[in-house]
Amino acid sequence: MRITMIGSGYVGLVSGACFADFGHDVVCIDKDQRKIDALHEGRMPIFEPGLDELVARNVKAGRLTFGTDLAQGVAGADAVFIGVGTPSRRGDGHADLSYVHAAAEEIGRAITGFTVVVDKSTVPVGTGDEVERIIREANPDADFAVVSNPEFLREGAAIDDFKRPDRIVIGSDDERALAVMRQVYRPLYINKSPIVEMSRRSAELTKYAGNAFLATKITFINEIADLCEKVGADVQDVSRGIGLDGRIGNKFLHAGPGYGGSCFPKDTLALLKTSQDYDAPQRIVEAVVAVNDNRKRAMGRKIIAAMGGDVRGKTIAVLGLTFKPNTDDMRDSPAIAVIQALQDAGAKVQAHDPEGVEQAKLVLENVTYCDGPYQAMEGADAVAILTEWDAYRALDFERVKGLLSQPVLVDLRNVYSPAEAAAAGFSYTGIGR
Ligand code: UDX
């Protein structure tokens, strides 16, 4: 198969490289010349474990190339994937589809022969119809079909998620298109990965419903954690206790500072917009969004309370800035709201993150960035763990106590047990325990 990927960001690059590894001939297109130049030099535009080796292997084998010329990439392709960004539109929270629409128009003009155009970007229900209309308008003679094939890749585990998926969702009623998609995912059909074929609209909604459900699960356990604190229970135990029920499942029941990242915040908002447009209110998701938004700043107040209620002139060491470990992504990271709340209350922040500092500098002001966790704690009055990077899982408690003016540890990811922290002489605050 000849596959063209439009957009070489997170989704496009990971998917393109994995398709090449399946043995397909893949070209990844991006408008950003610098990104393509970097890829030609073997430098990855994002941090994702294993991606550089995967790309290098397939480039060497001649199966993976990069370019900026969309028309050249599309001509003669069997499948053209749209993997461009769909950020929240400023002001109203609708998904911004301008990149998807622009790509559709260019694809329309460049199509030769029967081509399957696949939406991989997360797009609201009905976007497939719109893409079809735009291509038809740009090229009334084009022979094509539009398929929805949402991605479910977690940052930090994207390659594994792609190759060993919980499921693949393919939305199309067109037999010719389905035949091409079965070839595209041939290795996964062969090893009997769960593949669900459905209508295009069902596929589009599956993505939003899935992410909204996961966001709900996290938010549910976060509120139970708040209750645990009031009644003297431990959310880690409650989470395990309910998660062992197969109907509930133990994943995404880890209480923390609230979900962030490139998907959950944006997709829950976009789902609410769609539900308003179609007059089918999603009240549970509305509550999830509101609860999660409030939670982030509340975590700042939690740190302040752990320090006695007044942080004016105090210095707080923050360990972890990204919305989760193994990524450099700062989008909607809880750390942003937490740090701003601390600064608003008059505190100074010294922070460390293994990968996220460059991105953090773009969204946070007046933070002192340090080279390591211990440097961040030097001269600080308390330490707060905001992201559960492995580097923070085995801190040398004696050394930490020597660096801090007070042995105050606020652990917003429940990395440590309250008992071990107390035994080491810390005043410990976790989540829901
Ligand atoms: C998510 C989905 O998992 C993926 O299927 C989708 O395609 C894109 O969005 P991602 O945003 O990379 O992936 O991260 P994920 O691991 O899902 O975590 C999202 C957020 O939820 C993080 O801020 C994480 O810290 C938080 N989280 C997750 C919790 O607070 N508790 C949990 O139990 C799980």
SS (H, E, C) 206-272: HHHHHHHHHHHHHHHHHHHHHHHHHHCCCHHHHHHHHHCCCCCCCCCCCCCCCCCCCCHHHHHHHHH
CATH 3.40.50.720 residue ranges of the chain are 2-198, 266-429
Q: Per the structure block, which two tokens stand in for 257? A: 């500072």
Q: How does pLDDT run across 31-83, given as a tens digit for each residue? A: 999 999 999 999 999 999 999 999 999 999 999 999 999 999 999 999 999 99
Q: Is 409 in a helix, a strand, or coil?
A: strand
Q: Which atom of ligand 1 is nearest to the CA of 264?
A: 9
Residue nearest to ligand 1 atom 27, measured at CA: 259
What is the interface pTM, i.e. ipTM, of the complex? Answer: 0.95
On whether the 2-198 domain is CATH 3.30.1360.10, my answer is no
- Give catalytic status of residue 263 as yes or no: yes
**324 in a known ligand binding site:** yes
pLDDT value, residue 349:
98
394 burial class (0-12, 13-18, 19+ CB within 10 angstroms)? exposed
In whole angstroms, what is the distance from residue 253 CA to residue 219 CA? 9
Contact (CB, 8 A) for 311 and 344: no
What would you measure as the largest C-alpha separation in the chain, in angstroms?
75
In whole angstroms, what is the distance from residue 74 CA to residue 283 CA? 42
Spacing, Cα 25 to ligand 1 middle (Å): 31
Spacing, Cα 154 to ligand 1 middle (Å): 7
- Sheet with 64-67, strands from edge to edge, namely 64-67, 25-29, 2-6, 79-82, 115-119, 144-148, 168-171, 195-198
User: For the ranges 76-90, 273-287, 339-353, 418-432, which has the lowest average pLDDT?
Assistant: 76-90
Q: Is 105 in a helix, a strand, or coil?
A: helix
Would the CB of 389 count as within 6 Å of ligand 1? no
Question: Is the confidence at residue 94, as pLDDT, over 90?
Answer: no
Would the CB of 155 count as within 6 Å of ligand 1? yes
Please give the angle made by the CA atoms of 339, 363 and 352, to the nearest 5 degrees. 55
Q: For strands 382-385 and 367-369, give the pairing.
A: unpaired
Would the CB of 189 count as within 6 Å of ligand 1? no
CA atoms within 13 A on the CB side of 264: 26
Contact (CB, 8 A) for 86 and 95: yes
Residue with tokens 């094509």: 144
pLDDT value, residue 250:
96
Q: Per the structure block, which two tokens stand in for 256? A: 């923390």
Q: Can you say how many angstroms the Cα of residue 281 is from the centroid of all Cα atoms in its chain?
A: 25
Question: Is the confidence at residue 91, as pLDDT, over 80?
Answer: no
Q: Name the nearest CA neighbour of 368 among 386, 387, 349.
A: 349
Spacing, Cα 259 to ligand 1 middle (Å): 7
In whole angstroms, what is the distance from residue 325 CA to residue 241 CA? 25
Question: Is the confidence at residue 424, as pLDDT, over 80?
Answer: yes
Would the CB of 353 count as within 6 Å of ligand 1? no
Q: How does pLDDT run across 2-32, given as a tens digit for each residue? A: 999 999 999 999 999 999 999 999 999 999 9
Active-site residue, from 18, 28, 228, 263: 263
In whole angstroms, what is the distance from residue 10 CA to residue 84 CA? 9
Would the CB of 388 count as within 6 Å of ligand 1? no
In whole angstroms, what is the distance from residue 403 CA to residue 383 CA? 10
**Probe residue for ligand 1, chosen from 119, 152, 259, 431 as the CB with the greatest number of ligand atoms within 8 Å:** 259
In whole angstroms, what is the distance from residue 153 CA to residue 100 CA? 19
For the chain, how big is the Rg over CA atoms in Å? Answer: 23
Spacing, Cα 314 to ligand 1 middle (Å): 32
pLDDT value, residue 90:
79
Contact (CB, 8 A) for 131 and 146: yes
Contact (CB, 8 A) for 316 and 348: yes
Of the pLDDT bands very low, low, confident and very high (cuts 50, 70, 90), residue 95 is confident
In whole angstroms, what is the distance from residue 327 CA to residue 340 CA? 21
pTM for this predicted structure: 0.93
CATH 1.10.1040.10 residue ranges of the chain are 208-256
Q: How does pLDDT run across 236-263, given as a tens digit for each residue? A: 999 999 999 999 999 999 999 999 998 9
In whole angstroms, what is the distance from residue 145 CA to residue 133 CA? 11
Would the CB of 158 count as within 6 Å of ligand 1? no
On whether the 266-429 domain is CATH 3.40.50.720, my answer is yes
Q: Name the nearest CA neighbour of 348 among 387, 384, 398.
A: 384
**86 in a known ligand binding site:** yes
Would the CB of 146 count as within 6 Å of ligand 1? no
Would the CB of 296 count as within 6 Å of ligand 1? no
Contact (CB, 8 A) for 350 and 317: yes
Spacing, Cα 327 to ligand 1 middle (Å): 12
Spacing, Cα 156 to ligand 1 middle (Å): 10
Please give the angle made by the CA atoms of 219, 351 and 326, to the nearest 5 degrees. 55
Q: Which atom of ligand 1 is nearest to the CA of 252?
A: 33
Residues near 14 by beta carbon (within 8 Å), at least 6 away in sequence? 48, 51, 153, 158, 159, 162
On whether the 208-256 domain is CATH 3.30.1330.40, my answer is no
**266 in a known ligand binding site:** yes
Q: How does pLDDT run across 391-412, given as a tens digit for each residue? A: 999 999 999 999 999 999 999 9
Q: Which atom of ligand 1 is nearest to the CA of 251?
A: 33
**35 in a known ligand binding site:** yes
pLDDT value, residue 231:
98
